[in-house]
Amino acid sequence: MAHKRFFVEKISPETILTGEEYSHAKNVLRIEAGEEIVLLDGSGKEYGAIVNEVKKKEIVCRVVSERANDKECKTSVTLLCGALKGDKTELVVQKATELGVKRIGVFSSKYCSAYMNENKLERLNKVAREAAKQCLRAAAPEAVYFPTLEEALRSAESIPNKIFACEFARESEIDLHRLEGDCALVVGSEGGFSEEEFELARSLGYAGVTLGKRILRAETAAIALTSVALFALGEMQ
């Protein structure tokens, strides 16, 4: 049976679980002294540890091993997604994390009616951490927020493959089946993009792609494009 996994800010010979991870370990998972667990610091490594003591506000762990994690993708994929209504952005973050995305950006655009705040962003990062633990990753992508589409697009300007899914792309300007190297994927919110936003993306080096003849929900489009890209990159074999 897989050992229970917890994220910590820093690994040391004696590592302390506090905050939400402590509460989850003590009150939900009922961790006890002597149990073996896995600690994660987001570096891509995982650390075997023994629970030494469960205190009122912290759990003291002794690190006993260190090993590389083989669940991380060799290619870096960034997903930039328009903010979605309700809990749909959380769904996208969860599935993108499971698929292996390295970085997630959420942005507002012309036809975006959802909004973001610090609490929602904190919630997205919690969802990413929980998804990373569930799929045995050793690192969780950080979710960041961009107030405008342009800021989101420019945040990925150094990435060689920049892909923009949009209804104005009558045909795909890049062959996703032959994708190689790091890439940035852009999908809009429920309202889609304006023609001006599409032209902005193209002026910044993004290739327009179509996701087929059928109209997809925004969350479906984000998950579908991510899946296609990672499969083409050989990360799902």
CB 50 within 8 A of CB 64: yes
CB 210 within 8 A of CB 170: yes
47, 68, 89 — which closes off a domain? 68
If 0-12 CB within 10 Å is exposed, 13-18 middle and 19+ buried, where does residue 68 land?
exposed
Q: pLDDT at position 123, please?
A: 96
Q: pLDDT at position 140, please?
A: 95
Q: How many domains does the chain have?
A: 2
Whether 104 and 204 map to the same domain: the answer is yes
Collapse the DSSP code of 166 into the 3-class scheme (helix H, G, I; strand E, B; otherwise coil) and give the result.
coil
Q: How confident is the model at residue 2 (pLDDT cuts 50, 70, 90)?
A: low
Report d(CA 126, CA 40) in Å as an integer: 14
Mean per-residue pLDDT over the chain, rounded: 92
Sheet holding 103-107, edge to edge: 142-146, 103-107, 77-82, 183-187, 161-165, 207-209
CA torsion 178-180-184-186 (nearest 10°) is: 0
In the chain, count of helices (H) and strands (E)? Answer: 6, 11
Task: Find the DSSP H helices in 155-214.
Answer: 195-203
Q: pLDDT at position 227, please?
A: 96
Proportion of the chain above pLDDT 70, given as a percent = 99
Report d(CA 149, CA 62) in Å as an integer: 45
Q: pLDDT at position 178, please?
A: 85
Report d(CA 96, CA 108) in Å as an integer: 19
Residue 95: domain span: 77-232
Q: How confident is the model at residue 44 (pLDDT cuts 50, 70, 90)?
A: confident
Q: How confident is the model at residue 60 (pLDDT cuts 50, 70, 90)?
A: very high
Whether 125 and 195 map to the same domain: the answer is yes
In a domain, 91, yes or no: yes
14, 48, 68 — which closes off a domain? 68
Q: pLDDT at position 168, please?
A: 76
Residue 21: how many other CB atoms lie within 10 Å: 20
Q: pLDDT at position 113, please?
A: 86
Which helix (H) or strand (E) segment is 185 a member of?
Answer: strand 183-187
Q: pLDDT at position 174, please?
A: 80
Of 184 and 211, the structure prediction assigns the larger pLDDT to 184
Find the CATH number of the domain harbouring 18.
2.40.240.20
CA torsion 225-136-83-216 (nearest 10°) is: 30
Whether 64 and 98 map to the same domain: the answer is no
Predicted confidence (pLDDT) per residue in 94-145, tens digit: 999 999 999 999 999 998 989 889 999 999 999 999 999 999 999 999 999 9
Residue 168 φ/ψ region, left for φ over 0, alpha for ψ in the -120 to 50 degree band, beta for the rest: alpha
Whether 153 and 64 map to the same domain: the answer is no
In a domain, 237, yes or no: no
Average pLDDT over residues 223-231: 95
Find the CATH number of the domain harbouring 199.
3.40.1280.10
Whether 22 and 91 map to the same domain: the answer is no
The residue behind tokens 């690994």 is: 11
Predicted confidence (pLDDT) per residue in 70-86, tens digit: 899 999 999 999 999 99
Average pLDDT over residues 52-71: 93
14, 34, 68 — which closes off a domain? 68
Residue 43: how many other CB atoms lie within 10 Å: 12
